[in-house]
Copies of this chain bind each other. A is one copy, B any other.
Amino acid sequence: VNVQQLRYIRETARRGFNLTEAADALHTSQSGISKQIRLLEFELGVEVFVRKGKRILGLTRAGEGAVEVIERALLEIDNLKRHAADYSVADGGRLIVSTTHNQARYTLPSVIEAFAREFPTVQVELRQVTAQQAAQSVLRGDSDVAIATTALAEAPGLVSFDCFSWRHVVVAPDGHPLTRTRAPSLAAIAAYPIITYSPEFTGRSQIDAAFAGAGLTLDVRLTAMDADVIKTYVARGLGVGIVAETAIEDGDYVKKLDGSDTLFAPSRTKVALQRGALLRSHAYRFIELFAPHLRASLVRRASLGPVGAKPLTEEERTLLSQTPDFTALYRQAAAQKHAAA
């Protein structure tokens, strides 16, 4: 058994059982892959792939289990490399974060900045993708950390932690009638044209549910993928906006309506790691900077699982599973900034 053979099998399984494709992906010849796979099959005494003549169709029953074990073995070898890189003076480091627009644009910039100050030599790579893509990317080991609000909890190969909860708020242009009322009702808002997220996006369902629960129908004029677009059209007077409170900034040309943050159900922003993956220590620090209650040492142990490390105590688990409120977190950060100045 050697490591290359395991890589060949994993890649072949991932690429839909096409040796040619796997060979391209691994920058080698398909002939070599074919041979090495057969050699390993011979050594194991088991066929991993179902072949029909000279075509590979899928995995045998033995192969299915084998691929699972192979994935874990290769994961441990990656863990070894990352662990070593963490101690290596030569390697300054890299951190790949896959996340959605909402996080990349609003909640992460200050974190990235603080991280860059703390680790000047680490190259941070931020990839803006969909929540599903972020999850897949971490699951395949292509990125270290995924941050998103949905779709991160499902996959069994992921470990996810709640970072903070937030709500949708209503924004209107300066001088809009709604800005003069205190704590507008859902009905008062529904009287205006609405601009908000696309139906398939970031908790749009929670917005719809709130209005439906009050027996109201919405006049949704414009839907967008992100709050920047929404705010732009709201500023031009095309309607009233409903966006994540995380998207409210100081320089906005639109005004958040006071009390509008209690109208909708909260969402939770989560961070997800590959289960069993050992990341470089700065990756855990990055998470800690983003959500201070996610202590590096605890996240590390929780995501590695019980093999080798001692399991978390009850106390430590409650520490990790608390979900602070975004506004509270933000106020704290602002206060610290103020104290520093």
Task: Tell me the A residues contacting B by CB distance below 8 Å.
Answer: 1-3, 6, 44-46, 60-62, 65-66, 68-73, 75-77, 79-81, 83-91, 156-157, 275-276, 278, 305-310
Contacts and interface: CB of A to CB of B under 8 A. Distances in A.
A84 B65 CA distance: 9
Nearest to A274: B307
A84 B73 CA distance: 14
Given A87-B61, A305-B305, A44 B81 contact: yes
A185 B62 CA distance: 59
Contacts of A91: 45
A62 B45 contact: no
B44 A69 contact: no
- Counting every copy of the chain, the complex holds 2
A260 B17 CA distance: 66
Contacts of A68: 308
A45 B84 contact: yes
B80 A62 contact: no
B83 A65 contact: yes
A80 B44 contact: yes
Interface centre among A3, A87, A307 (most CB of B within 10 A): A307
Given A1-B3, A66-B83, A307 B308 contact: no
B77 A73 contact: yes
A46 to B, nearest CB: 4
A1 B73 CA distance: 13
B276 A85 contact: no
A77 B60 CA distance: 19
A229 B227 CA distance: 82
Contact of A62 (B62, B72, B84, B278): B84
Contacts of A88: 44-46
A334 to B, nearest CB: 38
B46 A87 contact: yes
Given A45-B91, A68-B308, 15 more contacts: A1-B77, A45-B88, A45-B90, A46-B88, A66-B80, A69-B76, A70-B80, A72-B308, A76-B76, A156-B308, A275-B308, A276-B307, A276-B308, A305-B307, A307-B307
A72 B61 contact: no
Given A73-B73, A305-B307, A308-B71, A1 B87 contact: no
Contacts of A77: 1, 73
